[in-house]
Amino acid sequence: MTRAIQTKNEKLPDPVGFATHDHNDCIDTAIAAAETHCANNGVRLTPVRRKALEILLQEHRALGAYEILDRLRDAGFGSQPAVAYRALEFLVTNGSAHKIERLNAFIACAHSKVSHVPAFMICTECDSVAEVQSNLTNKAFGNAAHVAGFRIEQTTMEAVGLCPVCIDKSKT
């Protein structure tokens, strides 16, 4: 399933969570992007932050903070909730992860090498999440904010529905 989403003026890549891809390359690319970002911005990708990112990269679904905390504890990083929350806050602040508000959960950024406005498609059956790049703030939403005198600092779009696998399952 390799196709791209065509918008009016641009061609955006597939939503990673729903597309067939080399998952090991996906993980390696995201870790390398996080390391580069940290080095370029004078911040540290500490062992616990790196492990939290690796946990998020294992699957293309959003994980709750306590699920991440359990996996961090199993890896020897402590059992206090602050361990997970601080690591996740760092990853979100530095563009390596996003918070999915609807699920109160986190997902690794699928497009960490480029500046973008994230948009997420969340499957209500299997909980997979796919991230796509959006240009919402550059168009109507950004214009509406400008007219209202509002400066957008962050925008996240979330859509719920069925992923291609679950749609195929429902047909049988």
Predicted confidence (pLDDT) per residue in 49-107, tens digit: 999 999 999 877 789 999 999 999 999 998 899 999 999 999 999 989 999 988 899 99
pTM for the full predicted model: 0.77
How do residues 18-56 score in pLDDT, each as one tens digit?
556 566 777 888 899 999 999 999 999 999 999 999 999
Residue ranges and CATH numbers for the domains of the chain are 15-171 (1.10.10.10)
Question: Which ranges of 6-80 would DSSP assign to H, the alpha helix?
Answer: 23-41, 47-57, 65-74
Query: How many other CB atoms are found less than 10 A from the CB of residue 78?
Result: 13
Q: Which among 129, 132, 130, 151 is positioned nearest to 142, based on CA atoms?
A: 151
- Residue 146 DSSP label: H
Both tokens assigned to 37: 């970002």
Q: Where are the beta strands (DSSP E) in the chain?
A: 5-6, 11-12, 97-100, 105-108, 117-123, 129-134, 157-161
